[in-house]
Amino acid sequence: MATNGKPGDGHRNGQVRERSQAYNPKTETWTKRDTQTGKFMDGKADGSPFKGVRKEK
C-alpha cells in the first residue's frame, strides 16, 4: 500500500495549489499562471509541462 510520505521531508506531495498551466501552440511551450490574479508567472524552455500543476483547457 502506497503512502504520501511524512510532512516536512523536503518535497511536495500532490498538486501545486492556486496554479495552472496552459500550452502556447505558437511558441510550443507551457506557461504557468496564478489562478487568483490571472497573471502569467513562468514558462518552460524545454517544451514539457510543469510537474504537479493542473492543465487548462
State the pLDDT at residue 1: 60
State the pLDDT at residue 47: 94
Q: Which residues contact 29 (CB under 8 A, 6 or more apart)?
A: 23, 43, 44, 45, 47
pLDDT digits 0-9 by tens, 14-54:
888 999 999 999 999 999 999 999 999 999 999 999 999 99
Residue 35: which of 47, 53, 10 has the closest Cα? 53
Pairwise CA distance, residues 34 & 50, whole Å: 13
Q: Which three cell numbers mark 37?
A: 490574479
